[in-house]
Amino acid sequence: MHIFANPHRFLSIARPLTPWLGWSGAILSVVALASGLLLTPPDYLQGETVRIMYVHVPAAWLGMAGWMGIAAASLMQLVWRHPLAGVAARALALPGAVFAAICLATGSIWGRPTWGTWWEWDGRLTSMLVLFFLYVAYIALSDADARRGQGGGTVTALFGLIGAVNIPVIHYSVLWWRTLHQGQSITLTGSSISAEILWPLPVATLGFTLLFAAIVLMRMRALLAEARVEARLRRMGEP
């Protein structure tokens, strides 16, 4: 990762890569969602509501992946003092929070006809809600650091690392507690979901992931441009 320590080198790669990721992600996402809506059959138990899966599952994955990225960037910032680590963590926070919110919203919509309630203090739902609040707190901390001119501060980086404790809680919550949320439908050894319903899901997950990556790169470029402008204004203000 130290090859990207130079912002100019990073930007030379990020600029052409961003549209490729964005357009590829958009096309794959549209294809997957259209296929899930039009080509797959309804579930024999959940009926048409199962189609929410094609948004809910990728959103859940990206909500957790976003924080794992923040934790990795925070570690690089604290241990190796990587100059772009704080920028990457800040760039990940907002899209991660948005996808965590989408996961909660689609889960609630899915739960209403399936469980008979919009919300239940279920282990999976509650830990995902905690993740959303962690994102909000991280964004507030990083914005406070930016106003003080610190970029990504030590306290913010430590918070990014400590918050990662919640990720395994989310993942294993359906195994640790008796819960309304269904167990793990997809594992390394197979899936309990019918193949004729499942096949658009990996395409949707890949598409949303590519879009997520494009958004993060755009935010990193914007944050670096903002830092350059602020540095230039400070130099102009010096006597």
pLDDT digits (tens, 9 = 90+) for 161-188: 999 999 999 988 877 777 776 767 766 5
Residue 84 covered by a domain: yes
pLDDT computed for residue 175 by the predictor: 76
pLDDT computed for residue 5 by the predictor: 64
| Domain count of the fold of the chain | 1
Angstrom CA distances, 78 to 94, 141, 152, 216, 221, stand at: 21, 16, 10, 21, 22
The range of the structural domain enclosing residue 217 comes to: 58-181+208-232
* Residue among 192, 195, 198 nearest 32 (CA): 198
Query: Angle at which helices 123-147 and 154-162 pack, to 10 degrees?
Result: 170
pLDDT computed for residue 45 by the predictor: 80
For 108-119, how does the pLDDT look when each residue is reduced to its tens digit (9 = 90+)? 999 888 888 888
Which H or E element spans position 182?
none
Residue 169 covered by a domain: yes
The rounded average pLDDT for each run of 10 residues, N- to C-terminus, in the chain (239 residues) is 70 94 98 96 88 96 97 93 90 98 95 86 92 97 81 85 96 78 68 86 97 97 86 64
Residue 237 covered by a domain: no
Rg (CA), the chain: 20
Residue 122 covered by a domain: yes
Which H or E element spans position 193?
none
Residue 21 covered by a domain: no
| DSSP type of residue 4 | G
pLDDT computed for residue 114 by the predictor: 83
- The two beta strands, 186-187 and 190-191, are antiparallel
The three state secondary structure string of 47-106 is: EHHHHHHHHHHHHHHHHHHHHHHHHHHHHHHHHCCCCCHHHHHHHHHHHHHHHHHHHHHH
Residue 191 covered by a domain: no
Residue 62 covered by a domain: yes
* Residue 203 burial (CB count, 10 A): 18
Residue 17 covered by a domain: no
